[in-house]
Amino acid sequence: MSDLEDISRHFQEKLWSLQQMLDLSVVELPQIKMKKFGQELCGLEGLLEELERCVDEQKQQLKNLKEMQDVYQQALQDMQHMKNNVPPHIPKKKTGVNANEAGKDSVDSQPAPAQNLKKTSRSFIKEMGFITTLEFEGIPQYMKGRVSYEQLNAAVSSMNAAATAKYKIFHQSVKGLSNHARKLHQRFKEQETKETKGQFFVVEEDIREFTQMKVDKRFQGILNMLRHCQRLRELRGGGLTRYLFL
């Protein structure tokens, strides 16, 4: 910007100088003065070209800045949209062990008793992994129907909730359960088979009991997609269909 101002100032000075020469043109000027006048005109022409070049450069810079501003605004809108539409099924970062706990672990380096290890394994509940966008795109359209990516993962979340609620009761001692929970515990035990030993599964009753998801024709279509994505497999027997988590 300073270059443009300097050229403009210099241009004004040249114009003023030429204007004085023209004012004196009423009298006959010596040949040397006329030659100088011509040189001044040539110099002024060069200044005009330089001025035009600077103006063009400033216009190009302004255009580039406007394009950068548009890109920045679009990126800002995209980031805001991502912030406002974070999928609820994205795993959250696990918090690390604090300093006190770390110190305690370093001091107490004795191996845990077998009883504690058994308790830890019993409290573990397997969850079904969420469907990725790439996996969803790989599902045949006839199988997806009108089910969206968000709806499919919402079903995964519901089935995980049903499994968590089921095995939370299943892993507890019957003595500490309410009458209703005892009946559920007994039902869970009766549904176990040799093939389900060590596996995690739910049945339609569990989904009705612990979630708001409807077990209907649309649900059957969702199960087909989850089988296609290798998230579960069906195990039938005793008039019951068990959905085993993979």
Q: What is the pTM assigned to this prediction? A: 0.55
Last residue of a domain, one of 31, 51, 72: 72
Which of 8-12, 117-121, 142-146: highest mean pLDDT? 142-146
**R_g of the chain computed on alpha carbons:** 40
The whole domain housing 16 covers 2-72
The answer to whether residues 211 and 161 touch, using CB atoms and an 8 Å cutoff, is yes
Check whether 89 has a pLDDT greater than 50.
yes
The C-alpha atoms of residue 185 and residue 181 are separated, in whole angstroms, by: 6
Domain contains 127: yes
Say if residue 13's pLDDT is above 90: no
Residue 154 has pLDDT above 80, yes or no: yes
Flag whether 83 is in a domain: no
As a whole-number percent, the residues of the chain with pLDDT over 70 amount to 71
99 within a domain of the structure (yes/no)? no
pLDDT band at 67 (very low <50, low <70, confident <90, very high): confident
53 φ, ψ (degrees, to nearest 5):
-65, -45
Contacts 24+ apart (CB under 8 A), 100-107: none
Residues 128 and 241 in one domain: yes
Task: Give the tens place of pLDDT for each residue, 123-147.
Answer: 788 899 999 999 999 999 999 989 9
pLDDT digits (tens, 9 = 90+) for 160-202: 999 999 999 999 888 888 999 999 999 999 999 999 988 999 9
Give the per-residue pLDDT at 95.
Answer: 39
What's the pLDDT at 122? 62
Chain-centroid distance, C-alpha 186: 43
Please say if the pLDDT value at position 17 is more than 90. no
- Examine the domain organization and report whether 37 and 137 are in the same domain: no
> So what's the pLDDT on residue 69?
87
Regarding whether 211 and 130 lie in a shared domain, the answer is: yes
218 and 151 part of one domain: yes
Tell me which of 113 and 187 has the higher pLDDT: 187
Of 37, 72, 107, the position where a domain reaches its end is: 72
Q: How many domains does the chain have?
A: 2
**In this structure, is residue 60 part of a structural domain?**
yes
Q: Which pLDDT does position 128 carry in this prediction?
A: 93
Check whether residue 125 and residue 232 sit in a common domain. yes
Mark whether 136 and 241 lie in a shared domain.
Answer: yes
Does residue 101 sit within a domain? no
Residue 111 lies in a domain: no
- What average pLDDT does the chain have? 79
Closest CA to 221 of 140, 149, 147: 147
In a domain, 223, yes or no: yes
CATH number at residue 146: 1.10.10.1890
Residue 169 inside a domain? The answer is: yes
